[in-house]
Amino acid sequence: MAIDKETARKVARLARLAIPEERLEPLARELSSILGWIEQLNEVDVEGVEPMTSTVAMKLPMREDVLEEGPTGGGQPDKVVANAPRTEDHFFIVPKVVE
Amino acid sequence: MTDITDLTLAELRDALKRKKVSSLEATGAYLANIEKAKDLNAFVTVTAEKARTMAAACDARLAKGEARPLEGVPLAIKDLFCTEDTLTTAGSHILDGFRPKYESTVTSQLWRDGAVMLGKLNMDEFAMGSSNETSYYGPVVNPWRSKGSNRQLTPGGSSGGSSASVAARLCAAATATDTGGSIRQPASLTATVGVKPTYGRCSRWGIVAFASSLDQAGPIARDVRDAAIMLRSMAGHDPKDSTSVDRPVPDYEAALGQSVKGMRVGVPKEYRVDGMPQEIEALWAKGAEWLKEAGCEIVEISLPLTKYALPVYYIVAPAEASSNLARYDGVRYGLRARGEHDITAMYEKTRAEGFGEEVKRRIMIGTYVLSAGYYDAYYLRAQKVRKRIFDEMMAAFGQCDLILTPSTPSAAFALGEKSDDPVQMYLNDVFTVTANLAGLPGVSVPAGLTGDGLPLGLQLLARPFDEETMFRGAYALEKAAGFAARPEVWWG
């Protein structure tokens, strides 16, 4: 399936990527060429085949519903915001979301 | 004594234990090599001070006779592994300034076992690439060159910093990751040994995610024994990764000497591609001959679905990547575009500035194949074909214990040679990607040189969690190949 310029614009929007107008056309061509190559998958008979989601047959492990010690635990606000571009009092600062 | 950096990891480990050399000396020697090898661009960050501090602590333990399995051994870490308080970039602009507040499980196990960190290695951006050219920090250059040429060649990718630094003796061994071939392809192109273990063998916790159902960590090392030693420390169950498997980690090094007599080695007739050089075909045949002489039985097998593995990969991996990379929004870490007063515009501009072209392409493909109306036609179909490929591989392992293939369809190519055509670049992983889709362990072993003097590897695949058989086979192959060539030092 060929991707046109408008589809490329829509997908870029869904992916939250600002693509300059002049790049949309070439990008659509690149993606169409990759998808064209992928379409050989239509030759494979997949009738009745279960889609594969994991290579290892195992049940998703459960853990105790408690706050853990260490990096996955709580109570570490300094560490949580340490790498943020803008913070204040352990909050992330972003442009206004609601008018 | 000989140059410390010429010792293999196993030799260095033993020399340290016998106090023939100190960790500070070994660390100093490697740091000096790194300093001289700036032209290779293998490192994003060198942590010299941290390395010396760690080495001094190791020497104290060695003095007390309390050596751990990797005590004092200097290693380098692919920049996809989060390292506490040390810059971690994933080769991307979007992770500018990111200093994780935690340590990945794999690296923490290496430090637990006494290893020393020299620094963080360059790589394709978010591990998306086969030539290291998608790195924001510029391509790594292969220490190997064609005979009589000074053209710069790729060290492979995405673990190009890992392969180049091991080949150029900038570290005793390196960590790497493999999503479609990113350990085995660079190993093949640099005459190093690269191991991708079974999916679930190594914890993915703290490794920057690319495609979570395919990503696995593994070592790149100078020989099979070194890779076995590295994997033992890297592997193991981790409750923080729900796909990490709770099975004991065997002593892989102990498996090496064991006989391969009676082992059945499958040779799949479909592992040939148009334009594959005759010398690769010949080396492959030689590899089968070597294993036969060592006592293996060679079995011809058929894997007709092989050609569909790459197209499946280029749906599954971008789909997972588009979800995983949604987290880079300029809010919690890394780069944020300046001057935007609208939050959507801030996201869009941050991601446009922060991601390179190949990463954007893959995010777009992933978003498209997961979007309403296309999900069934692309993503669901790919997952079904993936299941058929898995079944086909498992059926093959009914006829054989190992599968022998070339590692790559060509030797190292020139930087810039394939970067204009994504599909041509993707074809580099044609022999490696099936192992990722099926979750199988695989290893690339240096086996020969092209007429131009460039290294070529052979790959062995094994059943899930049967790395021991894989290591036994790889050791036999290594012994028979007797590969001893080294790149001529032109850098520094």
Beta bridge partners of B218: B176
Mean pLDDT to the nearest integer, A93-99 = 86
Instruction: Compute CA distances B12 → A39, B3, B16, B106, whole Å.
Output: 51, 11, 6, 21
Residue in B307, B360, B390 closest to A55 by CB: B390
CATH code for position B145: 3.90.1300.10
**Domain-embedded: residue B223:** yes
The reply to whether B18 touches chain A by the CB within 8 Å rule is: no
Q: Is B378 in Cβ contact with A18 (below 8 Å)?
A: no
A11 vs B308, B346, B368: nearest CB: B368
Report how far residue B439's alpha carbon sits from residue B179's, in angstroms, rounded to the nearest whole number. 10
b/e burial code for range B364-378 (CB count within 10 A of at least 16 → b):
bbbbbbbbeebeeeb
Q: Per-residue pLDDT tens for B43-102?
A: 999 999 999 999 999 999 999 999 999 999 999 999 999 999 999 999 999 999 999 999
**Residues constituting chain A:** 99
Asked if A51 and B98 come within 8 Å (Cβ–Cβ), the reply is: no
Domain that holds residue B242: 4-258
Q: Tally the domains of chain A.
A: 1
B446 confidence band (pLDDT: 50, 70, 90): very high
Higher pLDDT, B354 or A67: B354
Contacts with A19 from chain B: Cβ below 8 Å: 352, 360
Of the partner residues B101, B422, B439, the one whose CB lies closest to the CB of residue A34: B422
Beta strands in A1-99 (DSSP E): 87-88, 91-92
Q: Yes or no: say if B409 and B428 are a contact pair by the CB < 8 Å rule.
A: yes
Lowest mean pLDDT among A20-24, A58-62, B89-93: A58-62
CB atoms closer than 10 angstroms to residue B317: 27
Contact across the interface for B341 and A72, Cβ inside 8 Å: no
Question: What value does the mean pLDDT take over residues B260-266?
Answer: 98
Q: Is there a contact between B384 and A52 if contact means CB atoms under 8 Å apart?
A: yes
How many domains are there within chain B? 1
Each residue of A68-83: pLDDT tens digit?
888 888 899 999 999 9
Tell me if B361 and A27 make a contact (CB, 8 A cut-off).
yes
Query: How does pLDDT run across B121-166, given as a tens digit for each residue?
Result: 999 999 999 999 999 999 999 999 999 999 999 999 999 999 999 9
Q: What single letter denotes the amino acid at residue B291? A: L
Chain B stretch 211-250, residues whose beta carbon is closer than 8 A to a beta carbon of chain A? 213, 239-240, 242-243, 245
B119 touches chain A (CB under 8 A): no
Residue type, B206: G
Q: Which of residues 1-60 of A touch B (CB under 8 A)?
A: 1, 3, 7-8, 11-12, 14-19, 27, 30-31, 33-35, 37-44, 46, 49-56, 58, 60
**What local confidence, expressed as pLDDT, does residue B447 receive?**
98
Domain presence at residue B14: yes
Are residues B315 and B280 in contact, defined by beta-carbon separation less than 8 angstroms?
no
The mean pLDDT of B252-280, rounded to a whole number, is 93
Q: Hey, of B87, B215, B385, B426, which one would you mutate to test binding to chain A, going by the most A CBs within 10 A of its CB? A: B385
Q: Across B38-169, where does the E strand assignment appear?
A: 43-46, 74-78, 116-121
Please give the DSSP secondary-structure letter assigned to residue B136.
T
Is-contact B456 B204, C-beta < 8 A? Answer: no
Say if B386 falls within a structural domain.
Answer: no
The answer as to whether A20 is a domain residue is yes
Is the pLDDT at A33 greater than 60? The verdict is yes
Mean pLDDT over B362-386 rounds to: 95
B384: nearest CB among A12, A46, A63: A46
Task: Please indicate whether, in this complex, the C-beta atoms of A44 and B305 are within 8 angstroms of each other.
Answer: yes
- Residue A1 confidence class, pLDDT cut points 50, 70, 90: low
Asked, for residue B146, whether it belongs to a domain, the answer is yes
Average pLDDT over residues B366-381: 94
- B318 contacts in A (CB within 8 Å)? none
Q: How far apart are CA B230 and CA B243, in angstroms?
A: 21
Q: What is the mean pLDDT of residues B463-478?
A: 98
Beta-bridge mates of residue B137: none
**Residue A26 within a domain:** yes
- Chain A: closest CA distance from residue B364 (Å): 6
Task: State the count of interchain CB pairs (< 8 A) between A and B.
Answer: 166
Q: What whole-number percentage of chain B has pLDDT above 90?
A: 95
Nearest-angstrom CA–CA distance, B9 and B382:
41
Q: Is A62 on the interface with B (CB under 8 A)?
A: no
ipTM of the assembly?
0.96
CB atoms under 10 Å from CB of B36, counted, come to: 14
How far is B101 from B464, CA to CA, in rounded Å?
33
pLDDT classification of B284: cutoffs 50, 70, 90? very high
3-state secondary structure of B44: strand
In whole numbers, what is the pLDDT of chain B averaged over residues? 97
Q: Of chain B residues 121-140, which have a CB less than 8 A from chain A?
A: none
Cβ partners under 8 Å of residue B474, min gap 6: B193, B224, B227, B443, B445, B460
Q: Which of B216, B146, B204 is nearest to B180 (CA)?
A: B216
* Beta strands at B216-221 and B43-46: parallel, antiparallel or unpaired: unpaired
The pLDDT of residue B276: 87
Q: pLDDT for B107-121, tens place per residue?
A: 999 999 999 999 999
Run of H or E including B67:
none
Question: Which residues constitute the domain of residue A15?
Answer: 5-42
Assigned domain for B201 exists:
yes
CA distance A67 to chain B (A): 13
- Active site (catalytic) residues of B: 78, 158, 182
The dihedral through the CA atoms of B234, B182, A35, A25 has a sign that is positive
